[in-house]
Amino acid sequence: MIPARSAGRECLRTARAACLGLAVLGAACGAAPAQVQRPAQGERPFEVEIRRFEEEDRRSPPPPHAVLFTGSSSIRLWSTLARDFEGIPVIQRGFGGSQMADLVHYAPRIVLPYRPGTVLVYEGDNDIASGKTPRQVHKDWRALVGLIHRELPSTHILFISIKPSPARWRMVRRVREANALIRRHCSTDRRLGYVDVFTRMLGRDGRPRRELFLEDGLHLNAEGYALWTRIIRPLLRRERAAVEGRAAPERFRGGGGSGRGLPAAVS
């Protein structure tokens, strides 16, 4: 049998150890928010990123009537964007993992305040991957267009087609359908355009060109962004000339050789 005094000392040591453990755990938990920025409880995803954009805008206001690139990680990771479009004022507002509905939600904060002359949108990739239907992507696209044009009726909005990627090739049927629905919608309004990067990212075998992607088979590498630049830059030069009054504005159409003077990537 353990003497009562010894048992008491043992209980005291155990209690002290437990208290110390709880104190350490509490300190660790208290330090977590300082190490990892997360939206507060009840906030929407991406709130931290959007606030960072707003702070950047306060420090260095972007020029009005610039070209705005916005959307998911394909925009966020475009590290050479400003250099690739040198001579064209661009604003880069990509937030990785986003879907079209997220852009609709945040457009009043990261689209409308800039009063851009042209907006290029890359969304839909994560929508399809999350299980959304092509019709839902199309519906959210139309909501975005309506929101922007209610405030900025003369702004041109260009949809960069959802890209074909090795990592998500199994979803290609839905990607094609979503692209087709949005392309059809773009053909109904002279202020809208469809930028076809999908076709030129396919190889002769009809599958995604792996040399355009990082090892994850999803995100673009430097060669992939170089291809996008070659497709988009001629379009933006023409668009900027129209905005600045050096050429008459033209309707965005074409694609597959029916562009009526515009680059074949746009319809």
Q: Is residue 264 part of a domain?
A: no
Quote the number of domains for the chain: 2
Q: 263 by DSSP, 3-state: which?
A: coil
Q: Which amino acid does the sequence have at 248?
A: A
pTM (two decimals): 0.78
Do residues 195 and 167 share a domain? yes
Range of the domain at 2: 1-32
pLDDT of 69 strictly over 80: yes
- Are residues 167 and 210 located together in one domain of the fold? yes
Residue 231 sits at φ, ψ, to 5 deg, of -80, -45
pLDDT (0 to 100) of residue 29: 38
Q: What φ, ψ does residue 30 adopt, rounded to 5°?
A: -65, -30
Q: What is the pLDDT of residue 245?
A: 59
> Where residue 237 falls among pLDDT bands split at 50, 70, 90?
confident
pLDDT at 1 over 80: no
In angstroms, the Cα distances linking 109 to 93, 118, 185 are 11, 16, 25
The answer to whether residues 117 and 6 belong to one domain is no
3-state secondary structure of 96: coil
| pLDDT on residue 240 | 74
